[in-house]
Amino acid sequence: MQMQQEELAQAVTSINTAMRRASQSQPANTPPHGTASHRGEIIDPVWGSFGGDSDGQMGPCATVCVSTCPCCVPPYCSADRRAAWSYVASSHSCSLAILQIAGLVITLIPRGFAPTAVNGMLGPWPDTLSAFGAKNAAEIVYESGADGIRFVTSACLHAGIIHLATNLVLLLRVGLYLEKDWGYLRFMSIYWLSAVFATACSVVLLPDTVGVGASGALMGLLGGWMVHLIMFWEYGTLGERERRPI
């Protein structure tokens, strides 16, 4: 019995020593990896960390800005932020965004904006969209030639400014994160396969409409993200696991 008590005391002493050394090696103002600090810091996977205000909390306006567009939240020119800008500029998500903006500009050149009674999204005329490669079931089914390319080009066009803006917010927030997490090949494969599949479903279910937009591709990314979260739910840092409800 005495030997067991001595072994237990030695084990407790060893644990306390290890915990004391770990606490000394961790800077007092540095949060553990994967967690937010006690001062209201938010860790963004692409843009880095955003600290709280003087009261140690991030206000509602700053939280909304970080959630939607972290690039507009200071510090603008820190080393971490410059690295983030470099990554964003070279990402395929950014290239897709530029391609979609160019697509809207090109479709507006021939005839300008359609009346809001015709296109409530503040964009071009439907026949102009069709001429530039929008989803058109009749053209795909009955016309020979390269009309199958509409399965791809329709995802590069948008109905208007409102339509494009909503898609860009999702692409440049969720898309950037998933591209960084999954890598280029997996990200682009899911994106374009989802875009083609969504256009094919639209041809079958809505054959009498002209369809454009990257919404199908973005929904595919969200679906892939959901599967990813389910598969890796038990993995991650201690802080990430503690914040999960299950």
Instruction: Check residue 33 and give its pLDDT.
Output: 39
The CA–CA distances, whole Å, from 190 to 155, 183, 185 equal: 13, 11, 9
Q: Where are the domains of the chain?
A: 89-231
Are the C-beta atoms of 216 and 197 separated by less than 8 Å?
A: yes
Distance CA 13, CA 15 (A): 5
Instruction: Check residue 10 and give its pLDDT.
Output: 54
Going residue by residue through the chain, which has 246 residues, state the pLDDT in tens, using 9 for 90 and above: 444 445 445 544 554 554 455 444 444 433 333 444 444 567 788 888 876 655 556 677 777 887 778 888 877 788 888 899 999 999 999 999 999 999 999 999 999 999 999 999 999 999 999 999 999 999 988 876 668 899 999 999 999 999 999 999 999 999 999 999 999 999 999 999 999 999 999 999 999 999 999 999 999 999 999 999 899 888 877 767 776 776
Are the C-beta atoms of 126 and 210 separated by less than 8 Å?
A: yes
By DSSP bridging, strand 48-50 and strand 42-44 are antiparallel
Instruction: Check residue 232 and give its pLDDT.
Output: 86
- Superfamily (CATH) of domain 89-231: Rhomboid-like (1.20.1540.10)
- Evaluate the omega torsion of the peptide bond into residue 75 and state whether it is cis, within 30 degrees of 0: yes
